[in-house]
Structure 1
Amino acid sequence: MQNQDKAVDAARTFLQNDAERRAYINRELAILDYNSDHRDAFEEGEAKGRKEGEAQGRKEGEKRLGMLMNLLFKENRYNDANKAAADADFREKLFKEYGI
């Protein structure tokens, strides 16, 4: 029971000291602001990275598809080119066939 009495006395003393109470509140607000800024910066960076990754992936996909179409046209495989344009599974099969 003695420790509880000490804690109550310390809290009473703290609550009566305006300067300490303001300093405590300011510290807590600064911590909340820091955490919020940190979280916002992380989310912004994550979104930017995702956007850049998607753009890079599209560019690579277009390059890959262009290579496949060029090879198919060179070999006069026009029906396969038409089918590859519409059928993702067939396109993947051709990518493997050509090692693209």
Structure 2
Amino acid sequence: MSDEAIHKAVDAARTFLQNDAERRAYINRELAILDYNSDHRDAFEEGEAKGRAEGRKEGEAKGRKEGEERLGMLMSLLLKENRQDDVAKAASDADFREKLFKEYGI
């Protein structure tokens, strides 16, 4: 910047700082901008948290349903093949149940 431009800027700042009404208006505008940005950020974060909670709830319900269907299918196949002992063991032994899921491709 040239010396002349710098002097004009300094004169404008000095004039601005001497005018109480302009200075208060400027400060109020800046505070309003800060408040707006803060409110906007808070609303975004609240919406994001709500969306995550809803997604988690839907995911849990879907996972529960899929798990129940998978277990029901396994029990059905085992009973169809008269594997009652395996039904009882699968009900209480998660590792055995996983082995049976793989065996039946479920």
After superposing the two structures, state which structure 1 stretch, 25-34 or 58-67, moved more.
Answer: 25-34
- Give the SS at the match of 1:76: coil
Question: 8-17 vs 42-51, which deviates more?
Answer: 8-17
Q: Which runs of no fewer than 5 residues in structure 2 stay unpaired? A: 1-7
Deviation at 1:80, TM superposition (A): 0.4
For structure 1, the 5+ residue unaligned runs are: 1-5
Q: Which of 49, 74, 80 is the matching residue for 1:47? A: 49
Structure with the greater alpha carbon radius of gyration = 2
- The verdict on how the C-alpha distance between 1:47 and 1:12 changes in structure 2, with shifts beyond 3 A counting, is same
Residue 30 of structure 1 and its aligned partner are, at CA, apart by 5.6
Query: Any idea what the Cα deviations from partners look like across 1:21-68, whole Å, max 9, x if unmatched?
Result: 666666666666666666666666666601110110000000000000
Distance 1:45 1:92, change over 3 A: farther
Structure-2 change in CA distance of 1:7 and 1:40 (3 Å): same
Distance 1:70 1:22 in 2: 77
Number of residue pairs the alignment of both structures matches: 95
TM-score between both structures, scaled by the size of structure 1: 0.62
- 75 and 51 in structure 1: CA distance in 2 versus 1, 3 angstrom threshold: same
